Amino acid sequence: MRYLGCSYGYLIFSDRRHCHLVDVYTGTKVKPPKFQSECNTLIYLGILTAPLNSTNSRLILFSRISMLQWQVGTNSWTEHPHVGELIHQIVLFKGQMFAMDFVQRLHTIHIAPELSMQEVAVMWEQSMLVGLHSKPWLVVCGDMLLLVDLSVSMDQLFGFPGTFQVFRLDFSVEPAKWVKMDKLDNWALFLTNDRRNPTFSCMNPERWGGKSNYIYVPTKSEDFDEPWTAIEVGQPVPSSTHRMSFSSAATAHCSPLNSLWVLPSLVYGVDQ
């Protein structure tokens, strides 16, 4: 089976005929109806719009030629053409779905009156255009939509670590603009090297022993003694994390499942 992503506590897989949802905590499996076309062999990404027990929950899958939609509880898929770059990551922010494609254009995904996608005009800051960059992460952080960028200047390519930079999307200007943030204040962010996996934020992480203004990245348990690496914003990223991120960016949609974060409050619909 091909791994498509993790959403609301469910790992999403597909094979030649079906999509499979597996609850991370209980092992419960849900099998949506069979695919109705041959495009299933090209599916690379999946996301739930809400928890499975929600009345408006939908499973949306992306292939190289179309978007597939299954409304939970129904017996069929609806298919909509999709022409454009592969989708890199999707997040849910203030009731909307935002998607970033592989050339880092931002889009909104609309469900009604039919499944569609529309590009969002965004102005990039100059520092985002200089040097070598990994594929960025979108992170929802309270009432902010953030972009986390791992960058390495051109004179640092030979053995020097990269640095995480954080940008906030300012919707108050037209077009919207990415604005650099020097600190996360009392927030911590959770990323994974595979952009199919969800990203999270946490306010006041000191409550459970974490650190504000830090970014947490899971590590491969067979390679490291610790299950994750914590990096302060603006500080050098360890070379192991830096190499892993760059090496996985180009193959994100065909690589096997790796370590990832799953947030229980998001799974069970708890806001705190």
pLDDT over 70 at 221, yes or no? no
Higher pLDDT, 131 or 257: 257
pTM of structure:
0.88
Whether residue 248 sits in one domain with residue 128: yes
Average pLDDT on 24-42 reads: 84
Q: Residue 129: its pLDDT value, please?
A: 60
Q: Residue 193: its pLDDT value, please?
A: 84
Give residue-wise pLDDT tens across range 146-164.
999 887 755 544 555 678 8
Whether residue 64 sits in one domain with residue 180: no
Whether residue 223 sits in one domain with residue 149: yes
Give residue-wise pLDDT tens across range 90-103.
999 998 999 999 88
Q: Above pLDDT 90, what percent of the chain?
A: 52
Domain residues for the domain of 231 are 122-263
Whether residue 137 sits in one domain with residue 234: yes
Average pLDDT on 256-272 reads: 70
Give residue-wise pLDDT tens across range 162-193.
788 999 999 999 999 999 999 999 999 999 88
Average pLDDT on 37-65 reads: 87
Whether residue 166 sits in one domain with residue 69: no
- Cβ count near 124 (within 10 Å): 12
Write down the mean pLDDT value for the chain. 84
SS3 readout for the chain: CEEEEEECCEEEEECCCCEEEEECCCCCEECCCCCCCHHHHHCCEEEECCCCCCCCCEEEEECCCEEEEEECCCCCCEEEECCCCCEEEEEEECCEEEEEECCCCEEEEECCCCCEEEEECEECCHHHCCCEECCCEEEEECCEEEEEEEEECHHHCCCCCCEEEEEEEECCCCCEEEEEECCCCCEEEECCCCCCCCCEEEECHHHHCCCCCEEEEECCCCCCCCCEEEEECCCECCHHHHHHHHHHHCCCCCCCCCCCCCCHHHHCCCCC
